[in-house]
Structure 1
Amino acid sequence: MIKYITYKLGYALLTLLGVVTIIFFLFTILPGDPAQMMLGQNESEEQLQKVRAKYGFDQPVFVQYGYYLNDLSPISFHSAEQESYTYLDREKYNAIPLFTSSGTTVALKIPYLRESFQKKGKSVTAVIGDTLPNTALLAVSAICVAMVLGVLLGIFSALYKDQWIDRLIQLVSTLGMSLPSFFSAILFAWLFGYVLHEYTQLNMTGSLYELDDFGEENQLRLKNLILPAIVLGIRPLAVVSQLMRNSLLEVLQQDYIRTARAKGLSKARIIQRHALKNALNPVITAISGWFASMLAGAVFVEYIFGWNGLGKEIVDALNNLDLPIIMGAVLVIATMFILINILVDIIYGWLDPRIRV
């Protein structure tokens, strides 16, 4: 088991290195001067040169790539020269020096995602820390919606196989999987937040916390979570419904279910005590993969509903060409996706030793 875990962690590190490399070179070759993006339109050539030297933009691209890896690494190397980009600024890196040799200091730190171009003096880590909890809450809520409604619809669809209820649920599931998230978001916001606002009391846009009418303090608005959570959960809901139906139909054909029927147990008791648990296995497998996808899929949903999460922050950063935030956010989402999938693989390997072979 230890060998299997080591293999999976090594695979995760290689995958993450590939993601970092793609992100860096993809945004480095984009047209435009990063120093000019940071200073705006009122810059002088002298100011541009200072910013380029400070952030290493005047170095060859592969040297900049080395700087980027050094920033992301928890164990990093720093120069003793204050003019160097890699000079150990403890406040900047939040680093703990380990030892110094030949003018180079080795330090222990959390990954440094650099600073925002547009939000002066604010680190990318702080920006992500402010928005990621909202996205995580939205993703968890969407998964809960998908699990509860998907399992119930799947059970009804299996119990009434080939009847009108089954066909209606299958039609809705197919429609849910085919509709793009941004279209569903616009439709739900207009229908339930505008047309039916008098009955639903839901808003077209809004985040978890909003300023009160006097603009003095933030107030919790949980109702703003309802529409984006439903929209984000539509596609996994459709998948869960289909999986639950097919899995339950397969389980209901097993010998032990026939034995339970022969003993006179009701259909509801058979499903509750015997069939449901075994039928949920493929559903849990699908949900574990969907949760990581929720973080990436939340981008358009958050932007349309005005939900102040990481997805909306990415769109705003794209509009403002705030490259460090874009790179940091994509890297964080990719890291979480990789870690969740690796964790699921390790759990599978623990539950079923055949997988480790």
Structure 2
Amino acid sequence: MLSYILNKLIYAILTLFGVITVIFILFTVLPGDPARMMLDQNENSEQLAAIQKKYGFDKPVSIQYLYYLNDLSPFSFHSKEKDDYTYLAKGKYNAVEVLEFSNTVFVLKTPYLRESFQKNGKKVTRIIAETLPNTFVLAVAAIFIAMINGVILGVLSALYKDSWIDKFIQVISTLGMSIPSFFSAILFAWFFGFLLHKYTHLNMTGSLYEVDDFGEAIHIQWKNLILPAVVLGIRPLAVVIQLMRNSLLEVLNQDYIRTARAKGLNEFQVIVKHALKNALNPVITALSGWFASMLAGAVFVEYIFGWNGLGKEIVNALNTLDLPVIMGSVIIIAFMFILINIFVDIIYGWLDPKISIK
């Protein structure tokens, strides 16, 4: 068990290292000077040189890459010289000094994702901390909607196999898998938030927290969660329907189900007390993986509905070429994706005796 977890952790570190490397190379070779982007049209030679030195843009790409790894690493080396990029400036790093030798300090710190180019030097970690919880709430709501409705429709599809009910549900499932999320978001926002607003009282756009007209209080608007959660849950809903249908049909052909029916149990009791529990195993496993995907898939859904989550922040950062925010957000999403998938692998291997976790 311990070696299995250790192998998974090594795999996670190597995967995350690969993601960081690709992200750095991708956004470093982009055309344009980040320093000029930060100064916009107001730059002069002195300001440009100062910005390039402050962020290490005046160094070769290989040195910039080492700087970036040093910033992200929880164990890092920093210079005592104020002119050096790695200088342990107050407020820049949340660090604890461990060792000191010559002009270098070895520290233990939280990963430093740098500062936003466009938000007056606001730390990327703070931006992510403010927006990620909203994305998490949205993903949980979408998974909940997909799980409840997918299981119900999957059971109905299995019980009425090859009937018009089964075929109708299969059509819905196929459409859910084929229609892009951004198109569904536009359609739902227009139809339920605009055309039927009088009846639904739902808004086309809106986030979880809204400030009142006087700017004095913040209120939670749960109704703004409904449309983006439904749209984000459409694709996993389609997957759950298919998995639930196929799994339940397989379970219903088992000997213990025939025994339960022979004892005089009605169909409802057979499904709820005997078949449903075993049929849910592949569904739960699939949804665990889908949850990680939703953190990345919420990008366009959040932007269209005006949901102030990490996805919307990424789109805004792309529009303004705020590279630290883009890079930091992608790394955080990749980290969570890897972490959740490893957790699912370990739990699934623990629960299923056919899978070795030695």
TM interval, short-chain normalised: over 0.9
1:79-125 CA-to-partner distances (Å, cap 9, x unmatched) read 11110000112411011111101221000101000000000121000
Separation in 1, partners of 2:352, 2:183: 41
Separation in 1, partners of 2:143, 2:50: 48
1:250-271 CA-to-partner distances (Å, cap 9, x unmatched) read 0000000000000000000011
Residue 217 of structure 1: how far off its partner (Å): 1.9
State the AA in 1 paired with 2:334: A
Structure 1 segment 112-131 matched on structure 2, within 5 A: 112-131=112-131
Residue 211 of structure 1: how far off its partner (Å): 1.7
Instruction: Name the structure 2 match of 1:194.
Output: 194
Instruction: Name the structure 1 match of 2:232.
Output: 232
Separation in 2, partners of 1:219, 1:349: 43
The answer as to 2:24 corresponding to 1:9 is no
With 29-38 and 137-146 compared, the bigger mean Cα shift is at: 29-38
Instruction: Name the structure 2 match of 1:166.
Output: 166
1:193-213 CA-to-partner distances (Å, cap 9, x unmatched) read 001111100000000111212
Separation in 2, partners of 1:355, 1:206: 47
Separation in 1, partners of 2:260, 2:349: 32
The answer as to 2:247 corresponding to 1:221 is no
TM-score (norm 2): 0.98
Unaligned runs of 5+ in 2: none
Separation in 2, partners of 1:177, 1:303: 21
Instruction: Name the structure 1 match of 2:305.
Output: 305
Residue 39 of structure 1: how far off its partner (Å): 1.7
Instruction: Name the structure 1 match of 2:341.
Output: 341
For 2:190, what is the secondary structure of its paired residue?
helix
The answer as to 2:356 corresponding to 1:355 is yes
The answer as to 2:42 corresponding to 1:68 is no
Separation in 1, partners of 2:89, 2:253: 66
Structure 1 segment 48-59 matched on structure 2, within 5 A: 48-59=48-59
Structure 1 segment 1-357 matched on structure 2, within 5 A: 1-352=1-352, 354-356=355-357
Tell me if structure 1 keeps the 8 A contact 2:285–2:348: no
After TM superposition, the runs of 4+ consecutive aligned structure 1 residues lying more than 6 A away are: none
State the AA in 2 paired with 1:129: A
Separation in 1, partners of 2:139, 2:63: 38
1:2-58 CA-to-partner distances (Å, cap 9, x unmatched) read 011100100000000000000000000001111111122101111110111111100
For 2:265, what is the secondary structure of its paired residue?
coil
1:150-204 CA-to-partner distances (Å, cap 9, x unmatched) read 0000011111111111110000000010000000000000000001111100000
Unaligned runs of 5+ in 1: none
State the AA in 2 paired with 1:319: N
Separation in 2, partners of 1:51, 1:188: 45
State the AA in 2 paired with 1:245: R
Tell me if structure 2 keeps the 8 A contact 1:131–1:313: yes
Tell me if structure 2 keeps the 8 A contact 1:348–1:355: no
For 2:219, what is the secondary structure of its paired residue?
strand
Residue 220 of structure 1: how far off its partner (Å): 1.1
State the AA in 2 paired with 1:309: G
Separation in 2, partners of 1:304, 1:334: 23
Residue 307 of structure 1: how far off its partner (Å): 0.3
Tell me if structure 1 keeps the 8 A contact 2:70–2:77: yes
Tell me if structure 2 keeps the 8 A contact 1:90–1:96: no
Tell me if structure 1 keeps the 8 A contact 2:142–2:233: yes
For 1:356, what is the secondary structure of its paired residue?
coil
Same amino acid, percent of matched pairs: 72
Q: How many residues are paired up?
A: 357
Tell me if structure 2 keeps the 8 A contact 1:80–1:88: yes
Residue 339 of structure 1: how far off its partner (Å): 0.5
For 2:356, what is the secondary structure of its paired residue?
helix
